[in-house]
Each structure stands twice: as structure tokens, then as C-alpha cells.
Structure 1
Amino acid sequence: MSTSPEMHDRHSERDTLDQLLSAVRSGQSRVLVIRGEAGVGKSVLLDYLARNASGCRVARASGHEYETELAYAGLHQLGARLLDLRDRLPDPQRDALMAAFGLSTAPAPDRFVVSLGVLGLLSAAAEERPLLWVIDDAQWLDKASVLTLAFVARRLLAESVGLVFAVREPSNLRELAGLPELALGGLGDSDARALLDSALPGRVDELVRDRIVAEARGNPLALLELPRGLPPTELAGGFGLLDTTPMANRIEQSFLRRLDVLPAATRRLLLVAAAEPVGDVSLLWRAAGRLGLDAGSAAPAQAEGLIDLRGRVRFRHPLVRSAIYRTATLPERERAHQALADATDPYVDPDRRAWHRAHATTMPDEDIALELELSAGRAAHRGGVAAAAAFLQRSTELTPDPAERGRRALTAAKATFDSGAPEEAHKLLALARLCPLDDRQNAQLTHMRAQIVYALRRGSDAPPLLLAAARRLAPLDSEAGREAYLEAMEAAIFAGRLNEGGPGEVATAVRDAPPAGRSPRPIDQLLDGLATRFTQGYVAGVAPLRDALTAFGRDRGDENALMRWVSLPWLVAGDLWDDETWHELATQAVRRARDAGALVALPLALGHRAFVHVHAGEFAAAASLTEEADAITEATGNAPAKFAALVLSVWRGVESTARPFADWGLQNVVGRGEGRGIGGYGYATAVLYNGLGQYDLALTFARSACEYDDLGICGFALVELIEAAVRSGAHEEAVAAFRRIEERTNASGTDWALGVQAWAAALLHAGEAAESRYREAIERLGRTRVAVHLARAHLVYGEWLRRENRRTDAREHLEAAYEMFSRAGAAAFADRARRELLAAGATARRRTVETQIMLTPQEGQIARLARDGLSNPEIGAQLFISPRTVQYHLGKVFAKLEITSRGQLGRVPQSRF
């Protein structure tokens, strides 16, 4: 196949695209981001890709600089024709897609459920025919579309789907970071000269040729366009200094020189076309008619090859569009937008009409401001939070009444904050402060400022701001005020030792604040319980906090509220040594997050559930969940939740991997100002060194953890401190720590609490007193879910029996500990038990990796779900992957397990999963 002049060179790039197409046709997914400066040839390569995609269903979209406010506009270009496959999707995904595309009145969809729906559509379409989506100028896609496509790109695997993005550099489009990339540079000198020669008429002086090649730096569009702006005298032999302005600007200037010679009517028509990014030719002509322009106005631009009006409005290059629009005067732009607004049907496309009206004026106009506010509501209903924020910001700017402007500024700030732009939200709050606000609005402003600070930095500066906001809001809105108090409590708990006032300051304020109403919500009970816990002490807080946990467990009301407060109840359950509620809350949180498609909350819930699995000795399940959490946070761009992975690492007990991970975790939390993480780091590292038998180090880290009463950590760390202190000869320190834990565990009264107390007491006693407590610990912990603690009870009892020279009895418990730790994968504790067994006269051998191939964490999770009877679509919905990807992994599972069907999974030993 011959190549056009624009395709000089690019042999390796075309090979890359050919390989991508080959993979897609063979049933594999491929994603590629082509990056390069304006004019370097990205669009030409996309044309090559689409032209050679025989056998594939191809859809193309292009981002437009002036359409970033319109939610899902880019996705609509790509996916509208696939909606006939929507009945193949689960109901929540189908409903979310219909709402996002404005085809239903369903509630506003979570954008991640929309993303799952798109993933499902792609998978369904690819079953019929390989599918290729090509997206040009992705840096200008609307926020909702780019977030959706970035998520989908990271979840594709075994579908016959290709996603190829072209992004102009420099760009701040972070959502595509980490995806496979093709960096597109300039042509080599010989190809650059050949392309230039194809564009230049007649003979050109060598000095001029060298100058143009040097200035263009291999940029194909520059090589084709820059000579068009040179007068004949320059082409004949003149030369000057190299231009150092950015390449995009120079190409724009070249286009402008070509535009300057066009008739005024033609330039006006081009401006209308540039102001309307949809490319609707009929709309263009309707708007042109309102400006007195006819078809003849387009002819000169078409003759110059600057615009194509066949089917859709297409400019020669986006730089033509931007050159036309940016150089027009403000009155000229306003007239163009007003003509487009007048030509747009207010019933069929009210949002685009409002958008054009907003750009047709710089003067305050309540009518337009109200239209924009209504558009924002429709955008939010479709799940376009970023679009809603953009509409509201412009609505605020055009509002003439100061009081109404303040109200809209607050609303815009909230939408902007929810869209993930806290800095922009802060600017809108500054605008709101300049407007007359009532007491409630002032309180809302204070609250939102505090929330922004907490979102930007979860450190010690957030709790006092949230507390001040709660105090101001509570007298005006009791429920909102109490939620703000709970936010302040959460912030104080996470700031921990780095916050001077601590949770106690918030707790004191809560006790003095108006109480909850007659029917307190679970979050009201949680707030009151925490206030008691941090003012009257652990013992006094047990009963009200237990009631709060019961309320959270049975509540089936506001799912959003329950998802918002997923962490605090779970931390409280651990703090109370309530393993059943701890397990249930984590399981419930994962289920709710999966059902809702709440991918912001899900990684946190998965971390909680993984933490529970670690304590249950189910390390493989924990690893699977942490891997899933990592994949989701990578796909969504949210902050990773790593504490469960850290705890899993230290319980596995490989110092060379666990210690660097722990050190990284400490630096990370200190950098964010999360003092609670310091306690978590101390606890985790103490576990590591107790397992390794390096008790002096374990004692140092446990001391650090126990210096502050971190909710859900301090109690666990006290256990580590007692063992480390006893083994290090720090008897008095161990006794002091035991008194602290005895008070807590007596108040809790659960088998986990009293089992740990008995184990700790046994370490401090001798003779019959020690033995009875060891036996009590094993009995009580044997009735719980916390298998690793039961294994440790067997271990310390076996160690004590060996020192008592009761070798036969010691071997029984040491073998139990060794078996439990080995099965879980707790290498350090297992090795500690093995050494004791050898000292007790047993012939224990180190366990080696089994010869059979083990499943990856994700394969294990899919295998477990398939064994439990879930279908591929159900597994895919739970794990946020497509059914085809589930089948792909199951194929690998069957091969590794040497089985041929799902029905045989039930006969595979649990250890293989």
C-alpha cells in the first residue's frame, strides 16, 4: 500500500499499530496512547490505523477544546451505536448507561457503574466482531468521558478490543498515565527534506530549505505549512534567525496568514464553525443564515483545504480551529455564539443552547444564569459531576443579584469539590465570601472550607477547622452539624498524635452540642459512643459503641451514608475485640460497595476485609483482595489503601520485603500528616520482629505504637509489646502494659479479648497459673475467627512447655502452631515454631513450595466465586472485569488445577486457592 506524503518514515510506528490490530483480531485487548506535539502526525497515524482495521468495527471520536463542559459528549460519539446491546448488561449497568446518555429518568448514576456498563458493551460487541475505538485530541475530552475510558482501558484483557488515544503534548491529562505509550517525535532530516520538497513549488534555495527544516524540527505539519507563509523573495534566497516560539504557535500563525487573505464573510463562517464543536453541518448553516451568510461564503476556505463540510464539519487540523477562534475579537465570538444559540432547538438540546448563550455575553444575565443552573442539574442527573460544576461556575459569573450569586457560588463550590477539584472549589468559596450570606450559608461555607483542607491533606490542620465548622453548623441544622462533628472526630482519629487536641477535644465539644433527635441514626449513635470513649475512657465507651455497631449492622436505610462511614465502625469493632462484628462489617462494606459500584469506597472496604482475612490466617484471600484494591485505585486514580497489604507483608515475615514496605508506609503517612499511621507502622513492625524472634527490635516498635491510644491499633500493639517485653527481660514494662490491656479486655468480654488477656497473663506467670491461662487462651481463641492469634497461643504455650522440659506436650502444641502458620503462609512464625520443635526433639522439616503450579490471587478469587456457583457475568460484576476476562482466567485456572469444568472446583483442596 502506498503512503501519502504525510507518512514519510514512521515505519516503526506503523509496525506498532499493525501489531496492535493483529492482537485485537486474535482475541486480545490492546491499549495505546500516542503522545506528541501539535502537527507531529498523531492524527495521520490514527487515520492509518482506522484505514487498515479490516474486519474490525471502528468508532472514532475527537475531543474539542470548547466541549469539555458537556458530560459524556466524547463517550456518546463512540458508544451510542452500541446501545442496542444494552440488554446484555446487568440491570444496574444498563440503567446507569441510559441515565448517562440522557435516555432515562433514573437516578444519577455512579460514574464507575457507567464505566462498567461501557466495559460490558465493549465486551458484548467484541463477541460479534473485533472492535477498535480511536480517540483523537483526548486532552480535550470531557472529564466524564476521559475518566470512563481510562477506567475501561485498565480493565480490558481478553476481549477483542483496541483503544487508541492521541494526546497533544504538553498535556496535563493525568488519567491516561501509566497506560502503554508511543511517543511520537519529529521526522529524520532526510524524510523531512523529502516531505518539504513535496510541498514546495519550484526551486528553493538550499539555505531556505535548511532553515525551514531546522525550524520545523521534523514536525510534518510544520514542514507542510510554514513554507506557505513565506513570500517568494524568502523562498528564492532570503533567510533569517530561527523562530523560537512554540511550534503550535508558529503553525497557527501560518494558518492565520492563509486566513487573512480570505473574504470577511468566509472568516465569519469559519468562526461560527469553530465555535460549534459538534460538527453539525445543518446547525452551522442555520446559524450562518442568521448572520446573512450563504453557501458561497464557504467556497474560498474549501478551496484552500482549510475546512471540509461533507457530512460533518471538519477542519484541516485542530490548530486551524483554535487559530480562528483565538484571534477573533470578543464581539465577533459573541455574535457567533448568539447565532448558534438562536439556531439550537431549546427543547431538543437545551444544554448546548445554554452553553452558547453563556458564551455570547460577558454581562450579568439572570435568564442565562438560570438556564445554566438547570443544565447543571441535568448534567448531575446524568452523572456528569464535572460538567455540572462547569455550568454552575459560569452561572455564578453571570448572576446579577449578589445574594443569589453567593448561593450559586456555594452550590458550584460543592459540585466542583465533588468533581475532584478542591483548589477550584476553594476559589469559588472565596467568591461566595464576597457576597451577602445568611447564617446557614456562612456555616456551610466554613464547613466546605474545612472539608477541602481535609481532602487536600489529612493532617493535623483539618480537625480544628472541621470542629469549628461543626460548632457553627449544629445550631442551624442539627443533622448536618452532627455529621460535621463526626467528620471532625474521624479527622482527629486519623491525625492521631500529630493533632494537639486529639479526639478528646472533639469529644468534649460533642458532649456540649445539641443531642440527636428522637430517632438517632447509626452515625448519631457512633458519634455519641466515640465521644464517651474519648472523654470517659475505654471502659465507659464499650456499651454505647456496641449499640452503635449493632445499629450499623441492621440499618438498611441510606446506603450512601453507610458507605461514607465505612471505616469508623470497622475500627471500633476491632478496638472492642469483636471479631464477629469486625468480620460482618467488612463483609457488608465490600458487598455494598460492589452492589453500588462505589469504586472510591471499595478499595477501602477491600482493605478492611483483607485485614480480617489476615487475622483469620487466610493470607491468599487477603492477597487477592489487596491486589484487587490496587487494580481499582490504579484504574480510578484514587489514593492507594496500603495498610492491609503492609499487615499481610509483616505477618508473612520476610524481612527483606516487609521492612522496606513498612518504612515506605511510615514516610507516606507522616508526609500526609496521618499520625494514626505511625501507630500502625509501629504495630506492624513489632509483629514482624516478634515473628523473627528479634524481640529487642519488636519492643522498640511496639513502644512507639503504644505511646498513643490510636483507635483500633493500640490494643493490638499492647499484645506485641507484652510478648516483646517479656522476651527482652523488661518485666515491669510488660506488667504495666498488661494492666492496660486487662482493663480493655475485661470491658469487652469477647472470646477474642479474654483469650488475648489469658495469653498475655500466661507470659507473665509461672507454674500452674501460667498453664491454666495458656489453656484458657487456646480454648477461647479457638471459638473465634482470629486463627493467627490461636496459632500464636499454641506457639507460646509450646515454647513454655519445652522450657518446662515437657517435650511430648510441647511438640503437640508446637506442631499445631507450625501447621497453622505454614498453611497460612506466616513464614517467620512458622520458622520460629520449627526451631522450637527441633529443640523439643521433633524432626520438623521446612516446608517447600508445592510442586503444583499455584493460582495467582485474582485467579484464586475467580476460582472461589465460580466454585460458589456464580456465573461469569456475576463474577465480572463483582470484580469489575468483563465476563470474557473471567472466562480467560478460568481457562488458566482449569489448566493449573488440571481440571476441565467448574463442577470439579469443589473437589480441589482449599490450599490451592
Structure 2
Amino acid sequence: MELIDRRAECRQLDEVLNAARSGVGGALVLRGDPGVGKSALMEYVVRQAAGCRVVRVAGVESEKELAYAGLQHLCTPILDRLDQLPDPQRDALRTAFGLSAGQVPDRMLIGLGVLSLMSHAAEGQPLICVIDDLQWLDQASEMVLSFVARRLAAESIAMFMATRTPEPEIANLPTIALEGLPRADAAALLDIVWTGPLDEGVRHRIVAETRGNPLALMELPRDLTSHELAGGFGMPSADGLSGRIEESFQHRLEALPDDTRRLLLIAAAEPTGDPTIVWRAGARLGIDIKAAAPAVADGLVEFGVRVRFRHGLVRSATYRSASLQELQLVHQALADVTDAERDPDRCAWHRAQAARGPDESVAAELERCADRARARGGLAAAAAFLEHATMLSLDPNLRVDRALAAAGAKVESGAYGAAADLLAVVEQSPHTDHQAARADLVRAQLVFVLGRGSDAPPLLLKAARRLAPIDSALSRATYLRAFQAAIFAGRLALGGGALEVAEAARDLPDLSDSTLTDLLIDGFSTYWTEGFVSALPILRRAVAAARGDVPNHERKLFWLTGIAALRIWDDESWDVLSARHAEIARTTGALAELPMPLYSHMVMLIFSGELTAAGVLLDELKTVAEATGLAIGPEPGLVLATFRGDEAEVRAIIESTTADIRLRGEGIWLSIAEFCEALLNNGSGDYAAALPLAERAAAQADLSSSTWAGIELVEAAARAGEKSTAVDAFARLEQETSASGTDWALGIESRSRALLSEGSEAERLYLKAIERLGRTRMRADLARAHLLYGEWLRRRRRRIDARAQLRIAHEMFESAGMTGFAARARSELLATGETVTKRTTAPPGPQLTAQEAQVARLASEGLTNGEVGARLFISPRTVQYHLSKVFTKLGISSRAQLADALSSHGS
């Protein structure tokens, strides 16, 4: 049947199709109630896609728990291009699809692999992806497809999705909200499907009360009695319309022969649509192939290359109208004919649905399915298998173990409400001390992921203590998690925070210092209980260990070790560890882990005065955060905006995020915000405003911002005339810097002491600070030393000497983009009588977009299109598309010219 109306919708579909033919990809979502016409429009797309390659999949409710099942169905026709992918992407897809064993793949690496696979498949002809009933796709597939759909700009790919319900993953994609047909078109459709005499009043009422729903118009008149046709017709409310349509299909099913209904039930329970499996299961129940004929004749189903129901409501009506005994019988037949070697998960799932009560053998098989799902990166599927295994467990101890495993998987997959329900199962069942400790750990993890805040440290500490006599390795790992949670919670931590964790960790027996885990526990616990000087040698050993050969399972500790390097003033190790951690996360595809090292390395570059390079990492961090749904802090650009001297942006970020920070209990960001405001005010010379902010941040016993706030406090107090405050702050700072002994530490010590000194001693200290800091990467601190020395010289009327220092400082600040400090240096230079020319702004002309600038910067560093694409989660074709636009805008013709062109362009 041709479409009635939908002319506007068809135009939009045609526009996306034609754009893909011209090399501009895109995605379009159709959203609407059951029966409103989504599937018909999907068929329209397929008919219009002449000359294109079409791949399609429809979600099936019973398959929703099988990780990447929908994605694999969609990609199977193009898997011949798999070998063209970069190794990490190819391996990730092979593992996700169960084609080979391997490391658990990161979901975003799978997404990048699917994008690359589709890009290669579209090289010869446009690729059209049709996804119907998206609401029934498994969660992992939906996430990957939404990731890909947002990255099709320069691809000959069009993606069309149909869904009943608003799905969060696709909320930002272009969407058509389908309503019922207009009255005239609805009446025309009713005239086509109802050819007999019809009371005019009933006719109008059917059109009105179905609200133009095409499937309702086609199906519901079948059930009307002669009395209703004569004028007594009454329709259900719109909310119950899909139920009434499904009921109509049930009436049609009831009229079919028993064997036909049972064959349809087999097809409804078999999610792949493989007719061979359906026929074999039917034969097992004594059903002849001829039983399909009545259902086919009635238009309810098609048996071809795939078994396809006329509509999803036919499938659901078939399944829901069956008795429990019928369902068990059919699932058992499907389990018997499903190849347990090639498709063990689907076989086990059928066995689970066929179980007539608790069944240990089925529960154990579901547990093995969960292991396989986890190995493919399907956390949601693993959680579903384990949850069902819990319900089928006979042994109370195994039931609790499986409930705990399921709860942990639910936390990891984001199903937090279900995780809490499973923890309640554990609490209400007899359990061992080990199980109670594991429950504490899962509960703490749940609190931590919901908000790395105040509640998490005491819960993690409780779990670590209970695990200590039972599972030493897990206990120690949990202590480190507690430290990390305490660092994030900061001043807002419930209980004793980091100090309480440290005191408990000090009682751990046999800290052998043989592993990075032990060294970090020992170092952090010593730091919070005995102070910096006692912890220094232990933290140095931890940093040295991290720079050597580290086992894979301890690589996640690089972030904490980088914090340790920062804390002991080891700028080189901070640089090496944060960069290494980021690169490992990129190359191994651990993209969910990537935001932390990216943020750490970005801040290191900021302290080094490399603000442009830090901006590139900030762009990458935002890209990763958008792709993974993870982020570092309320706004990761706060520190960069501070060093740039962007007062308006800094104030706006702090004002807009402080309430949320307190609500989430993440005190670390309060300290960072106070440090940033203090630094911003010191940069502009507003020392009175900087002083209270620096005091509050410096008073916190954290691992980073308190120290840097202490440096700002010394300068603010010294310049504001609060000498006693400055002296006290310097005394605390000197205890650490003198013990550390690095050039960075001693350079800061000399610069800070100079602010409190007079005469030749002050000059000697400024020169010593410049000498020490000149040996480090910390160019921002070096520039500030030149500035302070120049200001000191000017106040002693040594204008010529002052100019030399202030020129150096001004040039360093200008080249770094530290405009606040640059303005202060310029003001000082003008006071010496120097003429200062402001740096010219970027030349006029076409400006690069944010993504063009990202692509250009990475390409200028020598990365290939594939490497740039992997970094920015776009395909190599899209990289080339952006580069061609960059070349045109910058007036260049090769990648070799990029660095100079970007520099002169101010990008």
C-alpha cells in the first residue's frame, strides 16, 4: 500500500538520503506511538535508496539483554571491510561480536570501529542504515549507534532510526515527532481498508478517536460489531490505543489453527528472525511447515530470508497471549535447536526462559554467559544474565554471590536503581563476612559513581576494613579507592576524610613496598598521618616505580601516582606519567579512563606556560567527555581560563557550578575554584581580594591546591601588607620545598622568600629563583619570578635593570597567552618609561571552526588522518574533509605548512 500523506516527512527523509549521495552524512530519528507509521516510513527509505547499499536491523524485545546483538546484525553485511580497520578498532569489534577473544573493549573504541567500518563500506556507494524499534535494541548497541550517528558529517552515510519512546542516547539528533494522519488522509485510509457500508457518524468517530493512527485505522474496524457499526461505537483513550491494537491482533491470532499460533509463538520468541531455527523448533514440537500458510495469508507474518512480523505489535501480541506453559515449551524447543557452540548465550537465555523453577545448571550457564558478555564489553548484558542467574539459584550462598556480581555489573553499566534492589536481596539473605564486605564495596562504588562526594570515603573505608582479613589484594585496592574518593570529597567528606582513611591504612600488615599499590597506600597514609617530610621518600619510590615497568592491572594507578609526583615537586615525572597514562588509555582503547590523565597533563602544560598545547588537550578532553558521558569536574577549562586571565569566564564558571559542587560533595573543586580566583586576583594585582581566597584554599589538607594556594597566599599577604600571615604561610611552604630539593621546589621557595626579604638578600633570592626555575619546565613560574624581580627593581628606581626583567616577563606572558599577568607586566613597563606595543591580534580573514582548529593542530604535530580521527572520535575521511577546508582558509597546500600557518593565524 502506498503511503497516505506523510509528504513533509518524506521530503525530510529524501533530503538526508540525497545529502548522503553527495557525501554529506546525517541521521534522522522518527519517534511516535505504535502504529503511527514509523515502519512504513522506514520501508519508504529502503525503496528510495536505489543505488545505495542498505543495512538494516529491527530491535526485538527478547534480545534486549544480549550485548551488541543489534549492532552485530546491522554490521554483518559489511564485516568484509573489517580488516581495513586499525588494529585496536578491528580487535575491539571482533571481541564485541564474539568473533575472537581479547581484552575487554572500550565502548567508545567499538563506536569508533563501527564508524570506520561504515566509512569504508560507503566508499563505493552510499551506505544507508535503517534501525527500526530502537527502543528494543540492547543498550550497548544503542549507545554505539548514537555515537556514530553524531559523527557522519563528511561521510556518504545516512542513518535512520525509529523509536516509540524518547531515548536519552539520541536526544540531540534531528527528530521527527510523528503524529496521526490529518483528518482527510485518515478518512481516505479508512475508505481503502473498509469497503463495506459504514454509518457516517461512526466513520467520523473512528477517524477522530483513533487520532489518525494508521495501524489503528487499518486494524480496529475489524473488531467492530454490527451494533457498533450502526452508531454505537466507542474507542479507547489515546493512552490505551496500542493496547487496543494489540488486542485486535490477538483476536486474529485466536482464529488461527493451534499449530499456526504455536509456530508464530516460536517466531516471536526467536529474536534473530532465522527461519531455519523456527522450522527446526517447530519440527521438534511436531509442527509441519504448512502451518505457516494461514498466518501468511492473513498478512500477519512473512517467511522469507528472514521471518518478519507485519508489525512489532503482532510479535508482542503473539508472545503476551501465550500461557506460561506454552512459553516454557517453545523456549525449550528453541534451546534444543540453537547451536550451543556457536551461540551459547542465546541458547542459555532460552533455557532460562524455559526453566520451570530454580535450576542450578541453568544459573551456572547464565553466569558463564555473563563472563562472555563482560569480555565483549557488554556490562548491561552481563548484569542481566547475573540477575536472572540469581533468581534461578537454589544454593543460598551462590544466590548471594550472584546477586553481588549482578549489583556490581549494574553499577558499572549505569543501572543504579537495579543495583540497589540487588543489594537489598543480599541484605535480606544469610551471608558471610566476605559477602557483607563485598556488598559494602558495591554500595560504596554506587555512591561514588552517583557523585564523587562526601558519602563515598567512609563507605569505601568500611569495605576496605572488612575485606582486609578476607581478601588482602581487594582490600588494598579498596583503600586506594577510598583515598581517591577522599581526595575528591576534600573538605566536604563525611567523617574524617583522607585522615581517617590514612589512619586505618597504617594498620595494614606487611606493606611490602613491592608493588605500586603498596607504595601508594604507604605513601598517602604516611602523608596524612605524619606529614610531607616523612612521606617524601615513599612517594618518590612510588613515582619511580610508576616510571618503570608496571603490570597492566596497576596502570589505572597512574593518575594517583601523577598526583604524588605533583605533590613532591617532581615536574618531570608529572609530565611523563600524565602523558604516558593518556597515551596508554588512547592506544588500548580505555577511553572511559582517558579524561583523568588528559586533565592532569593539561594542568601540567598550563603550569609550564604551554597554554596553546593545554587548549588542544582541553578540546580533546571535552570531545572524550561528550563521547563517553564522563567529565572531570564541573568545568575542566577553569584552570586554563584562570591562567589566560579571562576574568569573566572564571567568574561565570565558579558562579554556575558552586551550588552543584556542594550538592555533589566534591570539595576538591571548591579548593581549585578558590585557588583560581586567588591566582586571577594576584595576576591583576588585586592582592586584597586574593588574600582570603588563598587563605581558605591553603587551609585544606589536600594533595595539590592547598600547596599552590599557599604560594598565592605568600604573595598576596606580602603585597597586601599582612606580613605575619605571609611569614606563617611561607614557613609551611618552606618545610616542603626544602625537603623536596627539586629545582621547581627550591625556585618557588626562593621567589617566595624574596617577597619577605629586603636589600641585597631579596635580589640574591630573586636571581636564585630565576636560575632554579630556568632549569624546569615551569615557564609560568619562571615568568612570574622575572615579573616580581622587575617590580622590585622598579620600586628601587633601578629603571634600566627593571626594564630588562619586565620585558622578559612581558614577552613570556604574551607568548604563553597569560593576558592578566601580561597586562600587569605591561603596566610596570610603562611605569619605567618603556614604550610597549600590544601584540597584534589574529589577521583578518576566514576563521577556523573549533573542530577545524583541533584537526589542524593535531595534524601539525605529525599525526596521520587515522590518528587524528582516533583522537577526536571521527573518521579519517572526516579529518581529510576538515583539513581541506583548513588549507583553503589558511591559503596553504600541504601539512608541512600547517604549524607556521597556525602560528601566524593565531590559532
Normalised by the length of structure 2, the TM-score is: 0.95
1:624 aligned residue (616, 633, 639): 616
Corresponding residue for residue 509 of structure 1: 504
AA at the equivalent of 1:731: K
Verify the 8 A CA contact 1:155 1:635 in the aligned structure 2: no
Corresponding residue for residue 563 of structure 2: 571
Deviation at 1:429, TM superposition (A): 3.0
Where 2:514 maps in the other structure, the secondary structure is coil
Matches of 1:364 and 1:864 in 2, distance apart? 60
1:578-617 equivalence runs, <5 A: 578-617=570-609
Where 1:54 maps in the other structure, the secondary structure is coil
Matches of 1:659 and 1:582 in 2, distance apart? 28
Verify the 8 A CA contact 1:665 1:681 in the aligned structure 2: no
For residues 264-308 of structure 1, the C-alpha deviation after alignment (integer angstroms, 9 at most, x for no partner) is 333222222211121111211222223332234333322221111
AA at the equivalent of 1:39: G
Where 1:571 maps in the other structure, the secondary structure is helix
1:866 aligned residue (859, 865, 874): 859
Verify the 8 A CA contact 2:340 2:347 in the aligned structure 1: yes
Deviation at 1:112, TM superposition (A): 2.9
Corresponding residue for residue 261 of structure 1: 255
- TM-aligned CA distance change 1:255 to 1:909, over 3 Å: closer
Verify the 8 A CA contact 2:714 2:729 in the aligned structure 1: yes
AA at the equivalent of 1:820: M
1:511-526 equivalence runs, <5 A: 511-517=506-512, 520-526=514-520
1:748 aligned residue (724, 740, 747): 740
Matches of 2:840 and 2:895 in 1, distance apart? 29
For residues 382-426 of structure 1, the C-alpha deviation after alignment (integer angstroms, 9 at most, x for no partner) is 332222221222122112122222232233333333333233233
For residues 138-179 of structure 1, the C-alpha deviation after alignment (integer angstroms, 9 at most, x for no partner) is 11111221222222223333221222221112x4x3222322
1:10 aligned residue (6, 14, 19): 6
Is 2:752 the partner of 1:760?
yes
Is 2:83 the partner of 1:98?
no
Matches of 2:176 and 2:796 in 1, distance apart? 68
Verify the 8 A CA contact 2:62 2:269 in the aligned structure 1: yes
Corresponding residue for residue 875 of structure 1: 868
Corresponding residue for residue 376 of structure 1: 370
Is 2:24 the partner of 1:31?
no
CA RMSD of aligned residues (A): 2.2
Matches of 1:656 and 1:642 in 2, distance apart? 17
2:38 aligned residue (21, 39, 42): 42
- TM-aligned CA distance change 1:769 to 1:244, over 3 Å: same
Is 2:851 the partner of 1:849?
no
Where 1:851 maps in the other structure, the secondary structure is coil
AA at the equivalent of 1:883: P
Where 1:163 maps in the other structure, the secondary structure is strand
More deviation, 476-485/585-594? 476-485
AA at the equivalent of 1:154: R
- TM-aligned CA distance change 1:241 to 1:117, over 3 Å: closer
Where 2:547 maps in the other structure, the secondary structure is helix
Matches of 2:360 and 2:584 in 1, distance apart? 42
Is 2:135 the partner of 1:139?
yes
Is 2:886 the partner of 1:893?
yes
More deviation, 337-346/541-550? 337-346
Deviation at 1:630, TM superposition (A): 1.5
Corresponding residue for residue 334 of structure 1: 328
Deviation at 1:893, TM superposition (A): 3.0
Corresponding residue for residue 431 of structure 1: 425
Corresponding residue for residue 456 of structure 1: 450
Corresponding residue for residue 108 of structure 1: 104
2:120 aligned residue (115, 118, 124): 124
Where 1:513 maps in the other structure, the secondary structure is coil
Verify the 8 A CA contact 1:670 1:677 in the aligned structure 2: no
More deviation, 70-79/790-799? 790-799
Is 2:534 the partner of 1:535?
no
Is 2:711 the partner of 1:711?
no
Verify the 8 A CA contact 1:175 1:637 in the aligned structure 2: no
Where 2:637 maps in the other structure, the secondary structure is helix
Deviation at 1:858, TM superposition (A): 4.8
1:802 aligned residue (769, 794, 802): 794
Normalised by the length of structure 1, the TM-score is: 0.95
Deviation at 1:578, TM superposition (A): 1.8
For residues 239-282 of structure 1, the C-alpha deviation after alignment (integer angstroms, 9 at most, x for no partner) is 44753543322222232233333333332222222111211112
Matches of 1:813 and 1:469 in 2, distance apart? 56
- Aligned pairs, number: 904
- TM-aligned CA distance change 1:773 to 1:182, over 3 Å: farther
- TM-aligned CA distance change 1:898 to 1:642, over 3 Å: farther
1:314 aligned residue (308, 313, 330): 308
Is 2:550 the partner of 1:556?
yes
- TM-aligned CA distance change 1:479 to 1:242, over 3 Å: closer
- TM-aligned CA distance change 1:858 to 1:755, over 3 Å: farther
Verify the 8 A CA contact 1:621 1:861 in the aligned structure 2: no
Verify the 8 A CA contact 1:340 1:356 in the aligned structure 2: yes
Verify the 8 A CA contact 2:55 2:77 in the aligned structure 1: no
Deviation at 1:777, TM superposition (A): 2.0
Corresponding residue for residue 721 of structure 1: 713
- TM-aligned CA distance change 1:906 to 1:627, over 3 Å: closer
- TM-aligned CA distance change 1:245 to 1:882, over 3 Å: closer
Corresponding residue for residue 152 of structure 2: 156
Matches of 1:252 and 1:308 in 2, distance apart? 18
2:824 aligned residue (795, 810, 832): 832
Deviation at 1:641, TM superposition (A): 4.5
More deviation, 222-231/234-243? 234-243
More deviation, 328-337/201-210? 201-210
Corresponding residue for residue 896 of structure 2: 903
Matches of 2:440 and 2:857 in 1, distance apart? 48
Deviation at 1:860, TM superposition (A): 4.7
AA at the equivalent of 1:512: D
More deviation, 596-605/293-302? 293-302
Verify the 8 A CA contact 1:338 1:357 in the aligned structure 2: yes
Deviation at 1:854, TM superposition (A): 5.8
Matches of 2:180 and 2:784 in 1, distance apart? 64
Deviation at 1:541, TM superposition (A): 1.5
Where 1:127 maps in the other structure, the secondary structure is coil
AA at the equivalent of 1:324: T
Verify the 8 A CA contact 1:110 1:597 in the aligned structure 2: yes
Deviation at 1:740, TM superposition (A): 1.5
Deviation at 1:764, TM superposition (A): 2.3
AA at the equivalent of 2:508: A
Corresponding residue for residue 19 of structure 1: 15
Percent identity over the alignment is 52
Deviation at 1:434, TM superposition (A): 4.3
More deviation, 61-70/547-556? 547-556
For residues 32-52 of structure 1, the C-alpha deviation after alignment (integer angstroms, 9 at most, x for no partner) is 222222222221222112211
Verify the 8 A CA contact 1:629 1:641 in the aligned structure 2: no
For residues 343-384 of structure 1, the C-alpha deviation after alignment (integer angstroms, 9 at most, x for no partner) is 323333222221111111240112222222222222223332
Is 2:633 the partner of 1:638?
no
- TM-aligned CA distance change 1:55 to 1:803, over 3 Å: farther
Where 1:896 maps in the other structure, the secondary structure is helix
For residues 544-571 of structure 1, the C-alpha deviation after alignment (integer angstroms, 9 at most, x for no partner) is 111111111113322x4212x2322222
Where 1:66 maps in the other structure, the secondary structure is helix
Corresponding residue for residue 546 of structure 1: 540
Where 1:165 maps in the other structure, the secondary structure is strand
Gaps of 5+ in 1: none
Where 1:155 maps in the other structure, the secondary structure is coil
Matches of 1:489 and 1:682 in 2, distance apart? 22
Matches of 2:172 and 2:17 in 1, distance apart? 21
Deviation at 1:907, TM superposition (A): 5.1
Gaps of 5+ in 2: none
